Structure 1
């Protein structure tokens, strides 16, 4: 295991500089730099001290390292179903470490609707229709999209998705930060 690279990844995911982690853990930032460059190999005690500044246990550090070699391909069985009834949401990369976006394969039965209450959340959202027809409401605007058509909007705007027509709607969508 590349402890230096793993420490750097964990530190960056926590959005800490070497200097800030040094202050929190009671070591010098020079020591952290040497560890991250694999110039020195920390003792278990030193590594524990560094991880206490995150905070993270040794078990999490090594267990998450196994996850950091997450698969590149996520087969259908690896995509958790997050929807119900007439709307299916399949999340791609659900266990990817530090996941910064939600990528979904959405399937909506004809007539399915995200509901009368418009959705709204922080971030941005985009997608492309693969099959079927979509009525998309964003704010006061309403759009009809077909295969190949895409959308991109600020998710703080109230929005709603409705599957129109007689064919099942399939779309690929992404949002950041992840909502699923």
Structure 2
């Protein structure tokens, strides 16, 4: 193959790579809008959290502004997501199985267990929003642990706010409801035993 042919092939490869990059960048805007809405955030709220103007955020989401690291990094920090989730980069060389999130009742659930039956574990994102408590009952036992944000829990006659590092456990046959405090999104872990299975703590430190 002569040098002239090599030059054409190199330009073709570069063109293919450019097309791939343009395709990835074109998907960033809709992904930014989807993630923001899943978290119940407004453009004004995100602007306040990131220092990026509302007009710039709007142009990013509509595809009229080309995304850059300077813009995407503060957005990723505000949403508490890895940067590759914003750009849709596929995992490379990672042998771990990545659970697909499931949206139920406005919340996004990431399953952390794969075996059927027994205790089920989830990481849950509760979006910001104004909600009216609607306590319900069902069989089972649940344990909640707040990772970030604040979560409102209505349990029987109790109405409490859980913050980061706080946990609650309860029999789900007691009327209960949990949701947004209206102050922002919250992330928490949920362990649920559909047949009343409970989490057992061992090697608990002795009280002094």
TM-score (norm 1): 0.49
TM-score (norm 2): 0.43
